[in-house]
Amino acid sequence: MYKLLAADQKEYGPVSADQIRQWIAQGRANAQTQLQAAGSADWKPLAGFPEFADALQTAASPAAQRPPAAGSQPPPPKTSGLAITSLVLGCLGLLTCGITSLVGLVLGIIALVRINQSHGQLGGKGMAVAGTSVSAALLLLMPIPAAMLLPALAKAKHKAAGVQCMSNVKQLNLGVMMYSSDNNDHFPSGTIWCDALRAYVTNEKAYICSQGKPGQRCHYALNAQLVGRELKDVQAPAETVLIFETDGGWNVSGGRELLPAKPRHSGAYTVGFADGHVEMVRPARLEKLRWEP
């Protein structure tokens, strides 16, 4: 058995001596064609193998020249599966945020190395190059859309925090109303209002704003002007502040001076009113809020 190195630098075989003679007769091999015998690591010109001397001499005669048979050509090289996989994973990186592109890049490099070392037995070099290139390009470009998404994600996070804060104040407002209903329509004392509401607002997270100062038990205050007053004393419930944001504490009550110096939610404060509704209030509108009943 022999291996043949063709003019296209592709290696064919192992094949039998008869197949070599047939290729000589077809003009696909000549005296300079490199051949390697089974069990040998050396490549030698075909003319160096005595067993093919007759075939070479016959092929040298012009009368012996004839077109090669189509079915006797060396088989085409097998396409590398790693090259195909590399290209597929590289393209899928568009849908996986570059995760599969990293694998595609590694497989593409491995495929190129194996193809180059196969002496023509493996094909698909173009696919391997394409897979490597696509994967590398996506990995290089991925930080760009990621950087573009960061501001949008941050904005969405702040918006979600604002929605949660409004939900907290809504729960505390409702707790105050339920307390008043059970206590002759009187608002709770300013020094115990958080403790008093725990029977009605049992969720500890309702007292905490995710954007507030860490380590505080509560990030909201009760309007001190309503402490101990009756519900009927409030002349304009829809405009009168009941619960509002503050820097933090427990059983904190007071007025506008307790509002955080900087609004926590996109330039607005979360304020609950005596009629039970909650709003995001911009600093410019604070002057219009009622604190006195």
Classify the phi-psi angles of 6: left when phi > 0, otherwise alpha if psi is within -120 to 50, otherwise beta.
Answer: beta
37 sits in which H/E element? strand 34-37
Confidence check: pLDDT of 251 > 90: yes
3 sits in which H/E element? strand 2-5
| Residues 205-236: b if buried by 16+ CB within 10 A, e if exposed | ebbbbbbbeeebebbbbbbebbbebebebbee
At 149, is the pLDDT very low, low, confident or very high (cuts 50, 70, 90)?
Answer: low
Residue 148: alpha-carbon gap to chain centroid: 13
Residue 229: which of 200, 190, 277, 191 has the closest Cα?
190
Max distance between CA atoms of the chain, in angstroms, equals 124
Question: Tens of pLDDT along 71-82?
Answer: 445 667 788 888
Query: What's the confidence (pLDDT) of residue 193?
Result: 96
Whole-number Å distance between alpha carbons of 273 and 96: 47
Structure tokens at 130: 């394409």
- Give the dihedral of Cα atoms 213, 215, 221, 224; nearest 10 deg: -120
Amino acid at 42: D
Higher pLDDT, 127 or 258: 258
Mean of the per-residue pLDDT values for the chain?
87
CATH class of 2-72: alpha beta
CB of 180 closer than 8 Å to CB of 276: no
Which letter does DSSP use for residue 74 in this model? P
Q: Residue range 121-129: average pLDDT?
A: 86
DSSP string, 254-267: E-GGGS-SS-SBTT
User: Which of 58-67, 87-96, 119-128, 172-181 has the lowest average pLDDT?
Assistant: 58-67
Query: What's the confidence (pLDDT) of residue 260?
Result: 95
Structure tokens at 157: 């996070």
Query: What's the confidence (pLDDT) of residue 274?
Result: 95
Q: Residue range 149-153: average pLDDT?
A: 66
231 contacts: CB under 8 Å, gap ≥ 6: 180, 185, 186, 187, 274
CA angle, corner 229, sides to 223 and 233, nearest 5? 100
